[in-house]
Amino acid sequence: MTASNTLTDPDKFPKCLYEKMTRINPGVQEMELYEFRYALNNLEPENGSWDSVEIDPKEEIEKLIRDSSFFSTIQLKPKAGEKIVLDEKIVRLTNMLFVGLVKGDYSEDWINRFFYFDIRGFYFLVRTGYFTNNILTHFGSEPYKQFEHRQKKFECSQSIGYKEFRQANTEVDQFFIDCVKKLIRVKGIPILLAIAGPTAAGKTEIVEQLRCSIEGLGFKVTSIELDNFLTDRDYREQKGIHTLGKEALHLKQLEQCLEDITHGKKIAIPRYDFVFATSSHDLDGNLKAGCKPILIEPADVVFIEGNFPFLIEEIADLISIKVVYLTDDPIRLKRKWKRDIDYRKKYEPTYFRNRFFKDQFLMAEKAYRPQMEVCDMTVDTTGASVWVTPEIIKLLELG
C-alpha cells in the first residue's frame, strides 16, 4: 500500500504512525494501539482524512521554529465553544510531523533533532538548545565535571515525581553543593547567591539541599523566591509580559529588600499565591486586605531563586555567586505534569500545553541563554555536568 493510500485508510494510518512513533519516543511502546488511537482522534482533521494535511518543506519548518514571532502568537486559551483547545498552529505542526513521518518526507532523525514528543500532552514541541557557541566559550568549551547520564531512565515516563528526579541527580547535585561551599569559604560572608533556571528544573529543591549542607557548617541561611515578587498573572497576561521583564515584578520592593537583608535587616516580602496566581500586594506595592507578607530574617547566606535575577541590573551587582540550574525541556515537562497538574492543580491541562509550548523558546532566548553567558556556574542535570568559568575554577582551587 502506498503512503497516499495509508493516509486515507482509517485503520492503516494509526497503525503505521504508531510503529514509527515508538522510535520517536520509546514511551509510546507502553501504549496499546487502541490507546494511541484514542489520543490521535483528538487531532484528527475536520474532514476525517489525514490525506488533507498539507506539509511544509523541512527548510520552511526549521525557519519557522527559529522565529520568536511564531511562538509569540500562540494563544493560551483558544476555545471551541466553552472548551479550551490546543492552539491551531500547534495542532498543524503536530499533524504535519505525523503525516510527514508516515509519508517518509520527514526522517525520524530530522524530527528528533528539532522536536520532541510528549505522550501525555500528545503533541510535538520544539527542542530547545541551551549551549550556544558563546556559552561554550564562556565556560572554556568543556564541562568542569561530567557524570553518568542518569536521567535517561525517564525516557518512557509520562510524568516524573521529585523523589525519582532527585535520585537521578544525586552525583551532579552533590558536586555542585561542594563547589558552592568552597566558594563561600573563599568569598566570605554575608553572601548573596542567585540560582536561576527554567520552571521545574529543580531550583527550589536544590536550594533546600544547599541550605541543609551549609547550615551543617554553622552558617545561618535563608532564601528569597523571586516568584514571590510577581504581580498578578491576569495583569501580566493582559500586558503580554508573563514572568519575564521588570514589569512582571514588584521591582522597587525587590531592590529594597535585597539592600536591607545584605545590611542585616529583617525584611517583609510579597507572598505569591501559585494556585490563584495572585500577589499579596497591589501594583503600587501596598498590602492587599486579608493578605500577609513573608517575613525573612537576615542570614550569612541568602539564596535568590527565580528565572532571571542576573538580567535585572538593579540587583545584579549585589549577587556574589550566579548559577543557572538547568534541566532539558522534555524532563521538565514531565515533572510539571506530575507537580502542577496532578498535585497542585495549577492549570487547566490544555491551557498548560499551550503555555509550555509557547514559553520555552521565548524564555530560553530572553532569559536563560543570556544568563548562561554571564553566570559563574551552570548545572546541567540532564547532561549530568557542571560548567564553571575559568575565573571561578581558580577560586575553587583556592577553596
Classify residue 230 by its DSSP letter: B
57 has a pLDDT exceeding 60: yes
2 has a pLDDT exceeding 80: no
Confidence (pLDDT) at 294: 97
Confidence (pLDDT) at 245: 64
Output the nine-digit C-alpha cell for 261.
537583608
Dist. CA 327–CA 175, nearest whole Å? 16
Mean pLDDT over the full length of the chain: 94
**Mean local confidence (pLDDT), 128-154:** 97
Buried b (16+ CB within 10 A) or exposed e, 312-332: beebeebbbbbbbbbbbbbbb
368 has a pLDDT exceeding 80: yes
pLDDT (tens digit per residue) in 193-237? 999 999 999 998 998 999 999 999 999 999 898 889 999 998 888
Residue of 158, 372, 288, 137 lying closest to 280 (CA atoms): 288
- Residues whose CB falls within 8 Å of the CB of residue 134, separated by 6 or more in sequence, listed in order: 373
Confidence (pLDDT) at 244: 56
Buried b (16+ CB within 10 A) or exposed e, 52-79: ebebeeeeebeeebeeeebbeebbbebe
Residue positions counted in the chain: 399
% pLDDT > 90, the chain: 83
CATH 3.40.50.300 domain range(s) in the chain: 133-398
Confidence (pLDDT) at 10: 85
Could you tell me the CA-to-CA distances from 186 to 189, 210, 263, 287, 392 in Å, in that order?
A: 9, 17, 20, 40, 11
Confidence of residue 291 (pLDDT cuts 50, 70, 90): very high
Confidence (pLDDT) at 238: 83
Classify residue 284 by its DSSP letter: T
SS3 content of the chain, % helix, strand, coil (to 5): 50, 15, 35
Confidence of residue 175 (pLDDT cuts 50, 70, 90): very high
Confidence (pLDDT) at 305: 83
Confidence of residue 48 (pLDDT cuts 50, 70, 90): confident
Helix 349-363 to helix 329-336 angle, to the nearest 10 degrees? 150
Residue of 295, 326, 323 lying closest to 310 (CA atoms): 323
Question: What dotted CATH number matches 133-398?
Answer: 3.40.50.300
Q: Let me know: does 277 contact 306? Beta carbons within 8 Å.
A: no
Dist. CA 179–CA 195, nearest whole Å? 14
Dist. CA 43–CA 198, nearest whole Å? 29
